[in-house]
Amino acid sequence: MLLGLNGATTIRADLETDIRVARGAGYTHLEVWAAKLDAYLTTGTLSALKALLAENGLQAVSINAVENITFQPPEKFAHVQQLCATLCERAKAIGCPFVIVVPSPLPTPSIGQEEIRQESIAKLTCLLDIAKSNGVGLAFEFLGEPACSVRTLAFANEIVEAIGDPNLGLVLDTFHFYSGGSSLDSISQVDPKRLFIVHLNDSEDMPLETLRDEHRLLPGEGVIPLHDILTRLKGIAYQGVYSIELFRPEYYDWEPSRLVTEAKARMVSLLNQVA
């Protein structure tokens, strides 16, 4: 059982605290929040960070994230490319296999799926060249919010499969899976080799179109059919990292070690039910 801590869960804590509490709670992996890495590097080095992770028995699994990669004018996409290059260079330096990339909101509601598909393929292919030059992969994370251009697992998987590069895969976030209306059957269509990370979390009981990140809950406290999702993931023989990602402001007031320990207990309980 590979369990990860995403730095968004403890957003007010610094990177060194994330490492300390993840080790203390018995996690195996860490998703490094890019802003925390920026802060760490004002005084620390990538080589020191790599050593610190190793000393604490942790593997960095992703750097999170390059956002809004599609439907950008050339000058803004140049910034996206530069950020991608920076994060990929840092990922390589600390032995981290993936950088997460996220699609943009729709620029206009009238854009059709084929245009979104072609735009996503073009921009991902461009960024993938950057990632591969650094020996790392890209993990494409769809978002369930109504304005996002890629909202479902099925559509994200279609895009990734169309590119067909083993260095490109998916992030399945259970909150986005639920809020965007993804189907359980779509999990069965995913090649497990192309599913790089699963974000495990729950949701308040609200109309789907009103759900936002702040409505996330600890696993098992909400209405997402997590047991069914995990059963489908077991069915495709997914063996990657399950990472806790919470953006709930209420949880930011918790002491970090309490939060990550409670989150791990919830994840273990759910995963044991489908073991």
Q: Going by DSSP bridges, is the β-strand pair 2-6/202-203 parallel, antiparallel, or unpaired? A: unpaired
- Domain, as residue range, for 210: 2-224+232-254
> Taking the C-alpha atoms of 179, 248, 15 and 195 in order, what is their torsion angle to the nearest 10 degrees?
-20
Over residues 124-130, the mean pLDDT reads 98
Determine, yes or no, domain membership for 72: yes
Rounded-to-integer distance, Cα 130 and Cα 81, Å? 8
What are the tens digits of pLDDT across the range 161-201?
A: 999 999 999 999 999 999 999 999 999 999 999 999 999 99
Q: What percent of the chain has pLDDT over 90?
A: 99
Model-level pTM?
Answer: 0.97
CA-based max dimension of the chain: 51
Instruction: Tell me the two tokens of residue 107.
Output: 């620029």
CATH of the domain at 242: 3.20.20.150
> Per-residue DSSP letters for 31-79?
EEEHHHHHHHTTT--HHHHHHHHHHTT-EEEEEEEE---SS--HHHHHH
Residue type, 136: V
Determine, yes or no, domain membership for 261: no
Among residues 75, 146, 159, 85, which one has the least CA distance to residue 120?
159
* pLDDT at residue number 153: 98
* pLDDT at residue number 181: 98
Determine, yes or no, domain membership for 112: yes
Determine, yes or no, domain membership for 263: no
Over residues 84-109, the mean pLDDT reads 97
Count of structural domains within the chain:
1
What are the tens digits of pLDDT across the range 130-160?
A: 999 999 999 999 999 999 999 999 999 999 9
Over residues 214-230, the mean pLDDT reads 98
Determine, yes or no, domain membership for 271: no
Name the helix (H) or strand (E) containing 200: strand 195-200
For 211, residues 6+ apart whose C-beta sits below 8 A from its C-beta are 144, 145, 175, 178, 179, 203, 204
Q: How confident is the model at residue 275 (pLDDT cuts 50, 70, 90)?
A: confident
Instruction: Tell me the two tokens of residue 96.
Output: 């981290």
Rounded-to-integer distance, Cα 137 and Cα 146, Å? 27
Rounded-to-integer distance, Cα 32 and Cα 177, Å? 22
Beta bridge partners of 217: 202
Whether residue 32 contacts residue 62, with contact meaning beta carbons closer than 8 Å, is answered with yes
Output Rg (C-alpha) for the chain, integer angstroms: 18
Over residues 6-11, the mean pLDDT reads 97
Among residues 27, 86, 23, 1, which one has the least CA distance to residue 245?
27
Determine, yes or no, domain membership for 149: yes
The average confidence (pLDDT) of the chain is 97
3-class DSSP assignment, residue 152 = coil
Beta bridge partners of 5: 30, 244
Determine, yes or no, domain membership for 26: yes
Determine, yes or no, domain membership for 179: yes
What are the tens digits of pLDDT across the range 17-51?
A: 999 999 999 999 999 999 999 999 999 999 999 99
Rounded-to-integer distance, Cα 239 and Cα 210, Å? 32
Q: What percent of the chain has pLDDT over 70?
A: 100
Name the helix (H) or strand (E) containing 111: none
* pLDDT at residue number 250: 94
